């Protein structure tokens, strides 16, 4: 497995310290665990666990020697100050990759009528995270197509390092062929294998 072109990333939520040791022994190199939003806004969107539990999970993954992928989702009603707050919290945690998701309101959910994002605001969020986290991998994931529309290719000029391709947890995403075609038109070359961990 060590010579494989594949890298393995686990996204298992809040787990115990001994579970991280098992992941390392299983050749997992990265743990994905989003903060989701700023500490001051977290209680508004989640009541099943605390922001501090999410932070401790990230710290435990790092102590186990895993690379960390942690970011969040925007467009849930957070303020501009809270967007900056979250960026600074991620900077303090010093993970390796930061996935940025944009809310795609789904009918029948509590946030079905939210419309807090514009294409330009999405680009500003990416640019802010690039400014605060200059050395980190910033990966644009869920909601990029529906929220950015025709400005979608500009994510790389705003500071994105990469994109997640294919479908997401609850919404459809872009087909790999379409994303590769976009990269070709931008004269960008996909990296064949990450330097470490998975992106």
Q: Give the model confidence (pLDDT) of 2-27 as tens digits.
A: 556 678 899 999 999 899 999 999 99
What is the pLDDT at residue 177? 78
CA distance 17 to 198: 21
Nearest to 139 by CA among 86, 85, 87, 72: 72
What is the pLDDT at residue 54? 96
Three-state SS across 158-198?
A: HCCCEECCCCCCCCCCCCHHHHHHHHHHCCCCCCCCCCCCC
- Domains of the chain, start order: 9-185 (3.20.20.70)
What six digits make up the tokens of 35? 């903060």
Residues of the chain with pLDDT under 50: 1, 196-199
Nearest to 111 by CA among 102, 122, 100, 99: 102
Bridge partners of residue 163, in order along the sequence:
140
Q: Give the model confidence (pLDDT) of 76-108 as tens digits.
A: 999 999 999 999 999 999 999 999 999 988 888
**Size (the chain), residues:** 199
Which bin fits 26, alpha (ψ -120 to 50), beta or left (φ > 0)? alpha
Nearest to 58 by CA among 73, 49, 47, 71: 71
């Amino acid at each position: 497995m060590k010579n494989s072109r594949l890298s393995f990333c686990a996204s298992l939520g809040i787990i115990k310290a001994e579970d991280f040791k098992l992941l390392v022994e299983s050749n997992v190199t990265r743990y994905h665990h989003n903060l989701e939003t700023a500490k001051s806004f977290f209680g508004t969107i989640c009541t099943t666990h605390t922001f501090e539990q999410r932070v401790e999970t990230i710290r435990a993954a790092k102590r186990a020697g895993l690379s960390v992928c942690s970011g969040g989702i925007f467009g849930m009603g957070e303020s501009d100050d809270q967007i900056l707050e979250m960026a600074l919290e991620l900077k303090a945690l010093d993970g390796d990759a930061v996935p940025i998701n944009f809310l795609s309101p789904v009918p029948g959910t509590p946030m079905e009528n939210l419309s807090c994002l514009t294409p330009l605001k999405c680009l500003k969020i990416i640019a802010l995270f690039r400014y605060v986290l200059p050395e980190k991998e910033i990966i644009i994931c869920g909601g990029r197509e529906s929220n950015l529309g025709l400005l979608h290719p500009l994510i790389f000029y705003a500071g994105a390092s990469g994109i997640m391709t294919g479908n997401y947890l609850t919404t459809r995403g872009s087909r790999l062929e379409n994303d590769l075609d976009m990269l070709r038109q931008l004269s960008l070359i996909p990296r064949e294998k990450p330097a470490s961990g998975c992106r």
